[in-house]
């Protein structure tokens, strides 16, 4: 485990002053100039094997000793070994350390030849601040599995566009694992197959009887094929118009959100429609959006009504309530890998291995 101790709130003033010196002290902060267009040739990272070393980092929000213990237990229960990042326990505001510290941990795991995968302990916020400091040449030269969701979306989209390496929208290391999540995560990361079909979670279907947001809705039926592109809606929207934006034209756009009111969902989806055009996607797949209904006593559209504002006018397959998002039973989505969405079967089929 790292020897760094958690930084108290009282220490923020001193830390803020010291952080001005960190970029000079930490060697990995130099940025790689982003490409003007996405990589055409994707690199698949090497597959995971039992006993491999997994790097544990906090590239977004700060974590706690309890979460670290839970994450280590989760990783070891899957048959892997754990290497905590040097700055895993850092706290700077609500972030897992300064930008320089978080970049140093990420690049350090990429450089370490013994580390075979990099697993984010949580999402939170702050990954967007790392993007202009990412060394894309280093990441492309040493491709490794990067796993996580929520705020980790920013890293997935930037790495796909400027390093051309497949990364994985899936559970964070401190998630509470389920058999469904582990099964489909390990299949994608450890067992490269020419084709792999993922059904939706039966447990989520049972929850839908009491919790409507878990219900699968088919707005437009059909079969659609394309590379998988997307992630957390607020991050996909925030990156629109930047050099790290998701180009989801002719792709299967997948998005999810949590703890946001319908008017924000509407704003962000409108932004994506204005920036790229939702009708340019080959298909749209929306995950389970927990706690995204109207809040308070004011008038509001429902979540489904808000989604339908953007999905009903499309002429491509469009669904909601699929088994990914801020939920326990979620499948892992390899960003950039070609797949087929079949709304009648309620499946997603990967059409190529996600790892080499």
Give me the active site residues, please.
Answer: 150, 256, 326
By the 8 A CB rule, do 290 and 326 touch?
Answer: yes
- Could you identify the residue written with the tokens 């930084």? 7
Cβ within 8 Å of residue 166, ≥6 positions away? 42, 43, 44, 45, 143, 160, 334, 335, 336, 337, 354, 355
As to burial, measured by CB atoms within 10 angstroms (0-12 exposed, 13-18 middle, 19+ buried), residue 21 is exposed
Question: How many Cα atoms sit within 13 Å of 139 on the Cβ side?
Answer: 29
**DSSP secondary structure string, 5-71?**
PPPPGGGHHHHHHHHTTHHHHSTT-PPPPPPSS--SS-BPPPPP-TT-EEEEE-SSB---HHHHHHH
Q: Which of 194, 193, 74 is nearest to 122 (CA)?
A: 74
Indicate the SS3 state at residue 4.
coil
């Amino acid at each position: 485990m790292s020897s760094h101790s958690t930084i108290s709130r009282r220490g923020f003033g001193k830390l803020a002053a010291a952080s001005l010196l960190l970029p000079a002290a930490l060697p990995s902060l130099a940025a790689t100039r982003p490409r003007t267009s996405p990589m055409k040739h994707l690199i698949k990272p090497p597959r995971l094997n039992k006993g491999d070393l997994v790097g544990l980092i906090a590239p977004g929000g700060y974590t706690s000793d309890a979460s670290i213990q839970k994450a280590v237990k989760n990783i070891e229960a899957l048959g892997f070994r754990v290497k905590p990042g040097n700055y895993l326990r850092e706290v700077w505001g609500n972030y897992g350390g300064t930008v320089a510290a978080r970049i140093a941990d990420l690049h350090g795991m990429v450089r370490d030849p013994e580390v075979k995968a990099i697993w984010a302990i949580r999402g939170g916020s702050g990954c967007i601040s790392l993007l202009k400091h990412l060394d894309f040449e280093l990441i492309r030269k040493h491709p490794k599995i990067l796993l996580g969701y929520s705020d980790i979306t920013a890293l997935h989209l930037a790495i796909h566009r400027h390093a051309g390496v497949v990364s994985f929208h899936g559970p964070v290391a401190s998630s509470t694992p389920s058999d469904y999540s582990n099964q489909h995560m390990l299949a994608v990361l450890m067992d490269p197959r020419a084709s792999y079909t993922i059904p939706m979670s039966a447990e989520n279907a049972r929850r839908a009887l009491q919790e409507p947001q878990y219900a699968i809705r088919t707005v437009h039926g059909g079969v659609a094929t394309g590379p998988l592109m997307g992630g957390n809606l607020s991050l996909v929207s925030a990156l629109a118009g930047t050099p790290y934006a998701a180009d989801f034209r002719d792709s299967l756009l997948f998005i999810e959100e949590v703890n946001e009111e319908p008017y924000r969902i509407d704003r962000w989806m409108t932004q994506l429609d204005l920036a790229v055009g939702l009708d340019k996607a080959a298909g749209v797949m929306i995950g389970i959006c927990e706690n995204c209904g109207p809040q308070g006593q004011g008038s509001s559209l429902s979540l489904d009504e808000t989604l339908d504002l953007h999905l009903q006018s499309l002429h491509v397959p469009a669904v909601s309530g699929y088994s990914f998002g801020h939920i326990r039973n979620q499948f892992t989505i390899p960003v950039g890998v070609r797949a087929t969405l079949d709304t009648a079967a309620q499946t997603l089929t990967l059409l190529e291995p996600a790892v080499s």
